[in-house]
Chain A
Amino acid sequence: MASRVLVSLRVRAAPDRAFEVFTRDIGLWWKPNSLFAFTPNSPGTMAFEGEAGGRLVERLDNGKRFEIGRISDWRPGRFLAFDWRQATFSPEQSTRVEVSFEAVGDETRVTVTHTGWDQVPADHVARHGFPDTVFLRRHGEWWQGLLAAFGKIL
Chain B
Amino acid sequence: MADTRPALMSALCYRDPRAALAFLEAAFGFETVLLLEDAEGNVGHSEMRFGSGVIMVGSEWTAEHKSPASIEGLMTQTVHIQLQSPDDDIDAHCERARAAGARIIAEPETQFYGDRTYRCKDPEGHIWTVGQTIEETPPEAWEAATGLKTTVHKI
- A1-32 residues with Cβ-Cβ distance < 8 A to B are 1-10
Q: How far is the CA of A133 from the CA of B36 in the complex (A)?
A: 8
Indicate if the CB atoms of A137 and B38 lie closer than 8 Å.
Answer: no
CB-contact partner of B31 in A4, A8, A136, under 8 A: A8
**Count of B interface residues, CB-CB < 8 Å:** 15
Contact with B along A90-114 (1 / 0, CB 8 A): 0000000000000000000100000
CB of B40 within 8 A of chain A?
yes
Would you give the shortest CB distance from A102 to chain B, in whole angstroms?
A: 10
Count how many pairs of residues, one from A and one from B, have CB atoms less than 8 Å apart in the complex.
59
Q: Shortest CB–CB separation between residue B40 and chain A, in angstroms?
A: 6
Given A137-B44, A144-B1, also A3-B34 (CB < 8 A): no
Top 6 A-B pairs, shortest CB-CB distance:
A1-B41, A118-B39, A145-B1, A6-B35, A4-B37, A136-B36
Closest to B21 in A: A6
Bound CA–CA A136/B1 (angstroms): 17
Contacts of A141 in B (CB 8 A): 1
Pair A9/B33 contact, Cβ less than 8 Å: yes
Asked if B1 and A1 make an inter-chain contact with CB atoms under 8 angstroms apart, the answer reads no
B45 and A5 contacting across the interface, CB-CB below 8 Å: no
Q: A residues within 8 Å of B by Cβ?
A: 1-10, 109, 118, 132-133, 136-137, 140-141, 144-145, 148
On chain A, the residues within 8 Å of B32 by CB distance are 6, 8
26 contacts between A and B (CB under 8 A): A1-B37, A1-B40, A1-B41, A2-B37, A2-B41, A3-B39, A3-B41, A4-B35, A5-B35, A5-B36, A7-B33, A7-B34, A8-B31, A8-B34, A9-B33, A10-B31, A109-B31, A118-B39, A133-B44, A136-B36, A136-B38, A137-B44, A140-B36, A144-B1, A144-B34, A148-B1
Q: Considering only CB atoms, which chain B residue lies closest to A115 in the complex?
A: B37
Residues of A within 8 A of B45 (CB): 133, 137, 140
Nearest A-chain residue to B18, judged by Cβ? A1
User: Are B34 and A132 neighbours in the complex by a CB distance under 8 Å?
Assistant: no
B14-50 residues at the A interface, CB under 8 angstroms: 31-41, 44-45
A118's closest neighbor in chain B, by CB? B39
A4 to chain B, nearest CB (A): 4
Given contacts A144-B1, A145-B1, A148-B1, contact A133 B31 (CB under 8 A): no
